[in-house]
Amino acid sequence: MDKLAIVVPCYNEEEMLLISSEALRGELDNLIQKNKISKDSFILFVDDGSKDKTWELIASEHEKYSNVYGLKLAGNVGHQYALTAGLLTAMQCSDVTISIDADLQDDIGVFEEMLDKYYAGCDIVYGVRNKRKTDTFFKRTTAQAFYKLMSSMGVKTVYNHADFRLMSQRAVKHFSEFKESNLFLRGMIPLIGYKTDSVYYERKERVAGESKYPLKKMLALAIEGITSFSVKPISLITVMGGIIIFGSFCAFIYALISYFFGVVEPGWTSLMISIWFIGGVQLLSIGLIGQYIGKIYVEVKHRPRYNIETFLGEESGN
């Protein structure tokens, strides 16, 4: 049987950490008893610069249980970077990884089904939500709009899939060759290729703590994904410019006709509306182009994506 690593990125999860550890250890034992994974399989908690007692709890769990590992990053770098750090670290001492968030809203009960598909030849198995009953109407609507927008922009993603997935060692190795600093794993993983499949589950309510992805972060993630994988927004600027020029020409014709027929006084309102509209479009266009230039600026510096401060595991001597 292959060695499984469960990678769990954590940020300020002191309320949830012990609950997650107990549940995941129980599932590991269950899979070992069913001969789905080897006895030296483990859980890797990745502390993304938490400000609470998350790391102390991870270290405590590592002392108590030999199958609980810990990875502490030197600072808060964000979920996508923390998950990447966990995957690349786990790759060195496991055959297959499953990534899941610490809140365990994703269903650990489908681990076995994921592994069955892995043993059947799949290198990547996506965990996909089949319903969104636990979401508010606003979150459900915006999430669906997000996936449709990403698709329309040419970004290849799996609908209703976040970062709950199984990856074989060779899939993670191929992912490690993606050296960009602007990470959007939901768009990057499908680019790996290899044989893939999906398992479906119902997402649960969070047991403790609070969501680490409020609306502000969801919007930031959407912008990151679109600008990292598609140049269509820049193409849309050209189209928008053409539409504005056509509209301006029509307005010019209308203004001339109105003036000669004496329908309106040569006034201020239409002029101000035009100035504000065109000015807004220009600022929006400059800002959008600035997003791409900013990404180029970040990429060309080739700074490390994260810095590992401490690793508690089989190779750490702890």
148 in a structural domain: yes
Report whether pLDDT(213) > 60.
Answer: no
Alpha-helix residue ranges (DSSP H) falling in the chain: 17-33, 54-64, 79-91, 111-119, 137-152, 169-175, 185-188, 215-229, 232-260, 269-301
Report whether pLDDT(243) > 50.
Answer: yes
Report whether pLDDT(117) > 90.
Answer: yes
Report whether pLDDT(297) > 90.
Answer: no
* Same domain as 237, residue 203: no
Highest mean pLDDT out of 152-161, 188-197, 214-223, 289-298: 188-197
CA 69 – CA 44 distance, rounded (Å): 5
* Same domain as 11, residue 148: yes
**Residue 316 banded pLDDT, cuts 50, 70, 90:** very low
Structure confidence at residue 86 (pLDDT): 93
20 near 43, Cβ under 8 Å?
no
223 in a structural domain: no
Structure confidence at residue 318 (pLDDT): 47
- Residue of higher predicted confidence among 292 and 104: 104
CA 2 – CA 134 distance, rounded (Å): 34
* Same domain as 179, residue 30: yes
Q: What's the average model confidence in pLDDT over 84-110?
A: 91
Q: How far is CA 236 from CA 76, 148, 152, 278, in A?
A: 35, 17, 12, 15
Write down the mean pLDDT value for the chain.
80
* Same domain as 166, residue 35: yes
Report which of 149, 11, 18 is spatially closest to residue 75, judged by C-alpha positions: 11
In sequence order, what are the beta bridge partners of 198? 126
* Same domain as 282, residue 177: no
* Same domain as 271, residue 194: no
* Same domain as 107, residue 53: yes
Q: What's the average model confidence in pLDDT over 300-309?
A: 77
* Same domain as 50, residue 19: yes
* Same domain as 190, residue 256: no
**Residue 62 banded pLDDT, cuts 50, 70, 90:** very high
Determine the residue type at 182.
N
* Same domain as 188, residue 238: no
Report whether pLDDT(139) > 90.
Answer: no
* Same domain as 134, residue 13: yes
* Same domain as 241, residue 130: no
226 in a structural domain: no
Structure confidence at residue 304 (pLDDT): 76
Domain that holds residue 47: 4-212+304-312
**Residue 120 banded pLDDT, cuts 50, 70, 90:** very high
CA 227 – CA 79 distance, rounded (Å): 18
Q: How many structural domains does the chain have?
A: 2
